[in-house]
Homo-oligomer: A and B are copies of this chain.
Amino acid sequence: RYGLIEEENQIGAATGLAYTTAGGDILSIEVTHYPGKGNLKLTGKLGGVMQESAQAAFSYVRSRAEQLNIDSDFYEKYDIHIHVPAGATPKDGPSAGITIATALVSSLTGRAIRREVGMTGEITLRGRVLPIGGLKEKALSAHRAGLRTIILPEDNEKDIENIPESVREGLEFIPVKHLDEVLEIALVKEEE
């Protein structure tokens, strides 16, 4: 059902946490690629900041292709599409950065993403994870959707104490400083 967590681990789909004036929500970020000419397409009624955030995530992945086990000329052999349903809902902000990066790596490596993991954090070109807003509301929506693990920026660790204990008990919070840690947690191990 839409709005709940995935039924299986997915390749190319990561779960982000959004925060709007209407409260928190979970966001499924989808990435696909196919033979093409190196174009990047961004859809889902994304505002300018979120589009730039996706471009930063894309550049991070391109600059680290070799270490991530991605064929280094993928950028000229494939087109890549990043889409965020539902298509009629406006979305913006930088906090989906690490979620987009994770979905990109998953699509390009074929490694699945753990279905019970949600995440939030701005990404920089160096893979740094910067702080975000609305952690409490995001945690509430993660809890409602059935997630078990929340990856968050280390700079937001201090905000965990403001989350109601009933919510905190059902969720594991993992503060991170760099995208490498996010990928380590969110991607299914190849031997699994």
Q: Chain B residues with Cβ under 8 A from A72's Cβ? A: 35
* B38 pairs with A56, CB closer than 8 A: no
Considering only CB atoms and an 8 Å cut-off, how many residues of chain A contact the other chain? 52
Known contacts A56-B87, A122-B87; decide if A45 and B49 are in contact (CB<8 Å): yes
Known contacts A32-B59, A62-B79, A130-B2; decide if A125 and B45 are in contact (CB<8 Å): no
Shortest CB distance A161–B (Å): 18
Question: Is A175 positioned at the interface, with any CB of B under 8 Å from its CB?
Answer: no
Shortest CB distance A29–B (Å): 10
Q: Chain B residues with Cβ under 8 A from A12's Cβ? A: 125-126
Q: Is the contact region of chain A dominated by helix, strand, or loop, or is it mixed?
A: mixed
The docked-state distance in angstroms from the alpha carbon of A34 to that of B76 is 12
* B43 pairs with A81, CB closer than 8 A: no
Q: Chain B residues with Cβ under 8 A from A41's Cβ? A: 55, 59
Q: A2-B155, A43-B55, A86-B94 are in contact. List 18 more A-B contacts (CB 8 A).
A: A1-B155, A30-B124, A32-B125, A33-B63, A35-B75, A36-B62, A36-B75, A41-B59, A43-B52, A45-B49, A49-B87, A52-B87, A56-B83, A59-B83, A85-B94, A85-B124, A87-B97, A88-B93
Interface residues of A (CB under 8 A from B): 1-2, 10, 12-13, 28, 30-38, 41, 43-45, 48-49, 52-53, 55-56, 59-60, 62-63, 65, 72-73, 75-76, 79, 81, 83, 85-88, 93-94, 97, 122, 124-126, 128, 130-131, 155
Q: Closest 8 A-B residue pairs measured CB to CB?
A: A87-B94, A43-B52, A30-B125, A59-B81, A34-B62, A34-B63, A32-B63, A32-B125
